Amino acid sequence: MHFFLTCHKWTGGAIIPIDGKTIRGSYDRNQGKSALHVINAWSAEQRVVLAPMKVDDKSNEITAIPALLELLDITDCIITIDAMGTKTEIAQKIIDKKGNYVLSLKANHPTLYAQVREWFQQALGASFFWA
């Protein structure tokens, strides 16, 4: 079951973190049911969950995030997602919905990680950053 909550009309520029959580103690060992996993879109400004969504069994955040984004008007908003959601398809979905993004990057994406690291090293060498 998917559900969402609409709170207000966005005025743009809002920061919306998206994150997943496993609900502690929600598993049922006797019936062989795994723990409940949900993802949330959070309004940093309003301090309220905008769109909680249960992640389907046999799925994960990577497949649930695009469905969650589909529920939201993210025009001119900044979407933040941890390293689990750093996927080309998710970034493209945000762009298609006229949003902006900040995605976390870890060394588990070795090629991209190396490219970004090299870019920052070159930028530092060229005094790209201001003091």
pLDDT bin (cut points 50, 70, 90) of residue 105 is confident
Domains and CATH numbers, the chain: 15-105 (3.30.420.10)
Question: Coil, strand or helix: which one is 125?
Answer: helix
Confidence (pLDDT) at 64: 92
Confidence (pLDDT) at 129: 63
Confidence (pLDDT) at 112: 86
Confidence (pLDDT) at 8: 45
Q: What is the pLDDT of residues 28-84, one digit of tens each?
A: 778 877 888 899 999 888 888 888 888 887 778 888 999 999 999 999 999 999 988
User: pTM for the full model?
Assistant: 0.75
Confidence (pLDDT) at 75: 93
Confidence (pLDDT) at 36: 86
User: Does the CA dihedral 107-77-46-65 come out positive or negative?
Assistant: negative
Q: What is the pLDDT of residues 108-130, one digit of tens each?
A: 889 988 998 998 888 888 877 66
Stated as kind and residue range, the H or E segment containing 42 is: strand 37-43
Q: What is the pLDDT of residues 82-94, one digit of tens each?
A: 988 888 999 999 9
Q: Are 15 and 33 in contact (CB under 8 A)?
A: no
Residue where the block lists tokens 């090293």: 121
The rounded distance, in Å, linking the Cα atoms of 79 and 68 is 12
| Entry field: residues in the chain | 131
Query: What's the distance, CA 64 to chain centroid?
Result: 10
